[in-house]
Amino acid sequence: MESLLEKKKRAKKILAALKKAYPKAKCSLDYRNPVQLLVATILSAQCTDARVNKTTPSLFSRCKTARDFADASLPELEKHVRATGFYHNKAKNIQGACRMIVEKYGGKVPKSMEEILELPGVARKTANIVLGNAYGVIEGVPVDTHAIRISRLWGFTKHTDPKKIEKDLMEIVPREDWLKISDLFVHHGRAICIARRPRCSVCPVEKICPKKGLPKEWVR
């Protein structure tokens, strides 16, 4: 069984290789302020970032501040976010979160994990993305579907629960890379480590990836 120290060493090599492969990796959601990033991240649940980015221009042209989202009618918000799926809950959470931001935080998205987790529709993934990208506050690792799948493939975790996976990743990845590895997971998951059929033969970390769980016929 691989020790924690061995995982840390392997994680360091993988991070170096991925940073070289994806030097421009960053949050792929389009936004202009923390409120818009919060909204876009809520919309990205069970939806691709590309779809969210096609949806938000019309929404953000109408709503630029927390007050705008708080005062908008729920049917109007639902109309704007319908294409992202689960639009009833997403619109409700966006409006609820923005009303709390206006009433409790003076219209500004809070900058602490404890406070931002109070907002409707916000769990740790969303909180980490917003805090890290909007404010440079690094409290944890954003764990999305790419992170769940690839971190298990790399043998960094055996869990499927995002909170447990985040804890495992925080133990082996340096704090300064907690946000970066999330962006790298996304870029690598889209370009090479594709869920339906990973392109192992051209993977920049092929030689140090344990390929846990992959069918043998896929591995070359």
34-135: CATH number: 1.10.340.30
Catalytic residue among 7, 49, 90, 144: 144
Known catalytic membership, residue 177: no
For the chain, domain boundaries: 4-25+142-214, 34-135
CB of 65 within 8 A of CB of 28?
Answer: no
Catalytic residue among 7, 49, 90, 125: 125
Q: Which of 87, 80, 134, 89 is nearest to 110 (CA)?
A: 134
pTM over 0.75? The answer is yes
* pLDDT one digit per residue (tens) for the chain, 220 residues: 789 999 999 999 999 999 999 999 999 999 999 999 999 999 999 999 999 999 999 999 999 999 999 999 999 999 999 999 999 999 999 999 999 999 999 999 999 999 999 999 999 999 999 999 999 999 999 999 999 999 999 999 999 999 999 999 999 999 999 999 999 999 999 999 998 899 999 999 999 988 887 777 666 5
Pair of tokens at residue 72: 């908008």
4-25+142-214: CATH number: 1.10.1670.10
Known catalytic membership, residue 183: no
Q: What percent of the chain is helix, strand and coil (3-state, nearest 5)?
A: 65, 0, 35
Q: How far apart are alpha carbons 154 and 89 in whole angstroms?
A: 34
